[in-house]
Amino acid sequence: MPARLGSPGAANNGFARGHSRRMTFNGLLVLDKPAGITSREAVDRAAKWFPRKTRIGHAGTLDPLATGVLVLAVGPATRLIEYVQAMPKAYRTRIRLGATSDTDDADGTVTPDPTAVPVAEAAVRAALAAFAGEVEQVPPAYSAARVEGRRAHLLARRGHEVALAPRRVRIDRIDVRDYRWPELELDVFCGKGTYIRSIARDLGRALGVGGHVTALRRLRIGPFAAEDAVPLDADADSARGRLLPLASAVSGLPLVRVTADEARRLRNGQALPAAADGEVAVLDEAGGLVAVGRAAGGWLKPEKVMGRS
């Protein structure tokens, strides 16, 4: 029987399972990362909400200066991080023109340009227009980008000169929220791998006055929004109760519904006849994620099978 196209159910039971010795958890958790800590430190603090040895990862690193949406993957959900990372993102940032920073943000050594003069808003908007679309962007020297297998920020902090190659990124839209020289506030909608600090740096260069980020907040990754995020000072019960189903990690993929028997066959590695084409997320009758698979030639083959929740 061909698999059926559909949409995920509103609920997926079993984010936590009781075992004889301990309870295990799986799902996605939207965290509101505060300023002043790394993404890794945020994950380590959130780990206190779950039993020891619970696997926890995160999608999309935020700088220490940045706040907002950090999606945590708990338990088996860590196998799905790549799909969250590929989702579109939205940021709100404040940029100060007329000064540069060695880190391209206010956490670094800031150097004002004494020759900088106020730039008209029309010129700022015209310069920003060149950033939209598929563009080549050089990551900041102080970033997690790799140079010959080593993190750029580690080399930069040791005094090494870091030369990073440009990368192709997608910037869907940049909206000017407010501009009062030298402060510029923007909303940026972009794809994976885009550095907002690079936008600030490159905009400053284009205007001939320099620029760096003074505030940054990630508003959204795909369907995961800041208004739905859990603060780091939440209690364990509250945080655990906010776990989202595995299916939310693959909401950007075409969805295929299967029966209980078809789900069993997929989990056993068997292919199913299907009219879909390309990579798909396979959901059971309750909306739970069964597998991520690839459909071609009339057959759906499982590639990443998820256990029963």
Q: What are the sequence ranges of the domains in the chain?
A: 4-86+225-305, 111-212
Please give the average per-residue pLDDT across 16-43, as a whole number.
83
Question: According to the model, what pLDDT value does residue 299 have?
Answer: 95
Question: According to the model, what pLDDT value does residue 161 have?
Answer: 54
Please give the average per-residue pLDDT across 98-122, as a whole number.
96
Higher pLDDT among residues 14 and 48, named by residue: 48
Q: Name the band, by pLDDT with cuts 50, 70 and 90, for residue 12.
A: very low
Whether 278 has a pLDDT exceeding 90, the answer reads yes
Residues forming the active site: 63
On whether the CB atoms of residues 60 and 190 are closer than 8 A, the answer is: no
Q: Name the band, by pLDDT with cuts 50, 70 and 90, for residue 6.
A: very low
Domain 111-212 has CATH 1.10.10.10: no
Within 10 angstroms of residue 235's Cβ, the number of other Cβ atoms is 9
- % of the chain beyond a pLDDT of 70: 85
3-state secondary structure of 155: helix
Question: According to the model, what pLDDT value does residue 158 have?
Answer: 47
Contacts of 195 (CB under 8 A, 6+ apart): 104, 137, 139, 140, 143, 169
CATH architecture of 4-86+225-305: Roll (2.30)
C-alpha triplet 31, 35, 40: angle, nearest 5°: 60
Q: Name the band, by pLDDT with cuts 50, 70 and 90, for residue 113.
A: very high
- % of the chain beyond a pLDDT of 90: 80
Q: What is the pLDDT of residues 56-101, one digit of tens each?
A: 999 989 999 999 999 999 999 999 999 999 999 999 999 999 999 9
Mean pLDDT of the chain: 88
Q: What is the DSSP string of 172-213?
A: EEEEEEEEETTEEEEEEEE-TT--HHHHHHHHHHHHTS-EEE
pTM value surpassing 0.75: yes
On whether the CB atoms of residues 168 and 193 are closer than 8 A, the answer is: no
Q: What is the pLDDT of residues 161-211, one digit of tens each?
A: 556 778 999 999 999 999 999 999 999 999 999 999 999 999 999 999 999
